[in-house]
Amino acid sequence: MNVMTIDAHGWKAAGDAGLESAIELRRAIHAEPELGLDLPKTTAKVKAALAGLPLEIREGHSTSGVLAILRGPANGRTVLLRGDMDALPLTEETGLPFSSLNVGAMHACGHDTHVAMLAGAARALCERRERLAGTVMFMFQPGEEGHHGARFMLEDGLIDPLPDVAFALHISPNMPSGVFAGRTGPLLAAADKVTVKVTGQGGHASMPQDAVDPIPVLCEIVTAIQAMVTRRISVFEPAVVTIAHIDAGTTNNVIPESGRMVGTIRTFSERTRKMVHEGIARVAENIAAAHLARAQIDIDPGFPVTVCDGRVTELAARTARTVFGEDGWMTMPHPIMGAEDFSYVLQKVPGAMAFLGAAPEGGDYRTCCALHSNRMVLDERVMARGIAMHCAMAEAALSSDFEL
């Protein structure tokens, strides 16, 4: 497709015009962050921002997610644009005048900007509805931070029939401000939670020979898992296993009966994912048995791999360059080990996710506070570009020139 056929100047102007409202909405959401699948205050702000627009609103029973549908004058294909709404369980320490009012909750992953950009795009596309050669779905989704919100919205039937194309943006303070970035194929990893409980036999700390101490067994399992990953998994199909929490014992002179460790597994293919799961179980069970202890392994499957369709990724790249110039897009050389539940949508629909650099003004994107930091700040001005990109992608994906 020749993306020069899109209204590049018009969408860029629409993004600039919508920036002030986007900043206002973003700050209102940022000040009252909510966690999980039920976000009543955030959802109310979204619905207020969409009030009066020619949109069909759908809501499900499993979450407080909202799907808004804009039908263009032509009965063509359908494109879905997504923005996630939930916050993280962190206490904010940015010092911003609109900092979180809720102790223990913070928009540290930029979802407040995702909502604001998507709402801005909805308004801009509604104002130019006559240009659309089909239908646009705006997916305002809760529960991205580990709660499978996208899966629940799909299971609720909110996105039925499925769109022909799907697209999402994710802000990043660790990329050059205003630049879009993405890649074909795996963009983000599958993420699973692993818990290993080792049970031995408690006793006096001065007489370990009369007990079965689970603590050194846990430690040995941790190091053995790392060796298993490097020796059983191909370097060309990377995997990361990080044990981030170990809990055992109550005091200095008692050997506990049991101990527990919890970690995350990140992989880029179902084959590697299965191999790591089996490897952890094999290593943990046999090391424990060698020390006369028992290991119980529980793996909680998380999000699948986020895989971007090559045609849609190329469309995003050409669209970004058409609207913002050749420097508007950067192809990522490798995927990131983070995870996203937009992957559930991409399992069913050809689509792509792109990052939008938002390094704070005057900061260095290579060293500034990253996503999930309670000190993370963003350059809000890039939301104008996010609004424009959503609009331009919707028009481009609906065009008959774009072949799926």
What average pLDDT does range 282-308 have in this prediction? 97
Distance between start and end Cα atoms, the chain: 11
Give all domains of the chain, ordered by start, each with its CATH number.
3-188+305-398 (3.40.630.10), 190-300 (3.30.70.360)
Q: Cα–Cα distance between 306 and 304 in angstroms, integer? A: 6
Is 285's pLDDT higher than 90? yes
- Token pair 């689509």 in the structure block, residue: 351
pLDDT of residue 1: 42
**Confidence band for 317, pLDDT divided at 50, 70 and 90:** very high
- The band of 5, judged by pLDDT with boundaries at 50, 70 and 90, is confident
In the prediction, which pLDDT does 2 show?
Answer: 45
96 has a pLDDT exceeding 50: yes
pLDDT at 336: 95
pLDDT tier for residue 363 given thresholds of 50, 70 and 90: confident
Mean pLDDT value across residues 159-180: 96
Tell whether the model's pLDDT for residue 87 goes beyond 60. Answer: yes
Mean pLDDT of the chain: 96
Whole-number pLDDT of residue 289 = 98
d(C-alpha 125, C-alpha 108), whole Å: 28
CB 202 within 8 A of CB 255: yes
Q: What is the pLDDT of residues 257-268, one digit of tens each?
A: 999 999 999 999
**pLDDT given at position 3:** 41
Looking at residue 404, its pLDDT comes to 82
As a whole number of angstroms, the distance between CA 176 and CA 186 comes to: 22
How far is 44 from 60, CA to CA, in rounded Å? 15
Instruction: Give the H/E segment covering residue 151.
Output: helix 149-155
Q: H-helix or E-strand containing 282?
A: helix 270-290
